[in-house]
Amino acid sequence: MTQTLTIRRPDDWHLHLRDGAMLQAVLPHTAAHFARAIIMPNLVPPVVTGADAAAYRDRILDALPSGADFKPLMTLYLTEDTDADDVAAAHASGLITAVKLYPAGATTNSASGVANFDKVAAVLERMAEIGLPLCTHGEVTDANVDIFDREAVFIDRVLNPIRRAHPHLRVVMEHITTRNAVEYVQAHDTNLAATITTHHLVINRNHILAGGIKPHYYCLPVAKREEHRLALRTAATSGDARFFLGTDSAPHTDANKLLPCGCAGCFTAPNTMSILAEVFEQDGALDKLEGFTSLNGPAFYGLPANDATLTLTRTAPSYPGHVDTEEGPVTVFDPDIPLNWSVA
C-alpha cells in the first residue's frame, strides 16, 4: 500500500478569495497547499477593468502570510460594457490570465454579468486573437429552465453558439456538474477544457436534500443526480488532460448560509487535497492525481508546471470544522467519507 505520495505542487483553477477580513482569513488555507489560483472576480463591485484587477491583486498579495509562495492569477469580470482594449492591455502586461463570463443573475454577485451575448462578441473575438481564455459559468438563467437542467441548456443555447462564432477562442467550462458537459468536452478536442470541483466529485443532490436540507452542500451549479457525479469522477480520474481541478472554494459565513434564502458555495480550500487523494485512491487512480491537480491546468493555460512539490501521507488529516473570520465562522466542507490522506 502506498504510504506517501509526492506530486508537483497543485494549482487551483477556480477560486473565490473575497476581500477584506474574509480574504485575510481564507487565503492562508489556499496558499498552504496551492502555488497559484485563478481568482474569481465576483466581488461587490466586480473586478471589471485592468485597474480593478491590479488593485485586487495587490490586496491579495498584502494579505498573504509572510513566507507564503503563492501567485494569484487574476481574471476580469465580463460585462456588456467591457472594453476590448482594456482587456488586451491587461493581458499583454501579464496582469490577467483569463476573463470570466457570468450570465447575468446566474450565481453569487453576477448581476453585472452578460444578458445579451451579442454585446460581448467583439471582446470575445479580440480574446480569440490574443489567446486569452474565457472561463464560463455555464448555466442559463431562464426561469423556465429547471435548475438541474441549466448547465445542459447553457451548452446548447450559449456555449456552442459562442464557440462556433469564435472557433479560436480558448474556453474553460468551469465547475462542470453533468455527464452532458463531460461529453461535450470529450467531443471537442481543441481550445476547450473543463474544471471540476472537489465537492462535485463526492456529493450528489441527495446530500443537499435527503434527510433534511443541508445548506452547506448548496452551491452553484447545484450538485446533480448520482449518474452525473460518476461521470465527473470518471473524467477527473481518467488522466484526460482536458479536465483539471478548479475547487470553486467559495466561502460564506454560516450566518449567510443558514438563512431562508442562503448563499451558494462550498468552502473546500482547507481539505481539498485530502479529499482528492481519497477520491483518486477509491477509484484506483492515485497515479492520475498529479495530472488533475498539477499538470493539466498549466498545460491548458500555457504555463509551466510548478517545480516545488507537495507530499501526502497516509494519515487521517486534521483540519478545522470551521474557519473564524471577523465576519463570523465559515464552515469547512464535510465530505461525508472517511479521509486517510494528509498534506505533510
- Binding track, positions 89-118, relative to Zn ion; x by CB under 5 A: ------------------------------
151 binds Zn ion (CB under 5 A): no
Q: Out of 11, 12, 52, 248, which one is annotated catalytic?
A: 248
- 265 contact, one of Zn ion, ligand NCD, none, CB 5-8 Å limit per kind: ligand NCD
> Going by C-beta distance under 8 Å and a sequence separation of 6 or more, which residues neighbour residue 86?
49, 50
* Rounded-to-integer distance, Cα 220 and Cα 210, Å: 18
248 binds Zn ion (CB under 5 A): yes
12 binds Zn ion (CB under 5 A): no
- 343 contact, one of Zn ion, ligand NCD, none, CB 5-8 Å limit per kind: none
Report the residue number, 49 or 197, with the smaller CB distance to Zn ion.
197
Closest CA to 13 of 43, 34, 32, 44: 34
- 342 contact, one of ligand NCD, Zn ion, none, CB 5-8 Å limit per kind: none
Q: How far is the CB of 40 from Zn ion (least distance, A)?
A: 5
Q: In what order do the strands lie in the sheet with 243-245?
A: 11-15, 36-39, 71-77, 96-101, 134-136, 171-173, 192-196, 243-245
* Rounded-to-integer distance, Cα 264 and Cα 261, Å: 9
Q: Which residues would be at the binding site for ligand NCD (CB under 6 A)?
A: 16, 42, 107-108, 137, 219-220, 248, 250, 264-265
Report the residue number, 73 or 128, with the smaller CB distance to ligand NCD.
73
**What residues pair up with 140 in beta bridges, in sequence order?**
none
Q: How far is the CB of 238 from ligand NCD (least distance, A)?
A: 24
Closest CA to 29 of 315, 200, 267: 267
Report the residue number, 18 or 166, with the smaller CB distance to Zn ion.
18
Question: Buried b vs exposed e over 14-33: b needs ≥16 C-beta within 10 Å?
Answer: bbbbbeeebbbbbbbbbbeb
Q: How far is the CB of 343 from ligand NCD (least distance, A)?
A: 23
- 198 contact, one of Zn ion, ligand NCD, none, CB 5-8 Å limit per kind: none
- 42 contact, one of Zn ion, ligand NCD, none, CB 5-8 Å limit per kind: ligand NCD
* Rounded-to-integer distance, Cα 344 and Cα 327, Å: 30
* End-to-end CA gap in the chain: 18
Cell of 168: 479560436
Could you confirm whether 86 is annotated as catalytic? no
DSSP assignment letter at 166: -
**Among positive and negative, which fits the CA dihedral 139, 92, 83, 59?**
positive
Q: How far is the CB of 122 from ligand NCD (least distance, A)?
A: 25
Q: How far is the CB of 126 from ligand NCD (least distance, A)?
A: 24
- 220 contact, one of ligand NCD, Zn ion, none, CB 5-8 Å limit per kind: ligand NCD
Report the residue number, 42 or 342, with the smaller CB distance to Zn ion.
42
Count how many Cα atoms sit within 13 Å of the Cα of residue 128 in the half-sphere of its side chain: 17
Q: How far is the CB of 83 from Zn ion (least distance, A)?
A: 24
Binding site for Zn ion (CB under 5 A): 248
Catalytic positions are 248
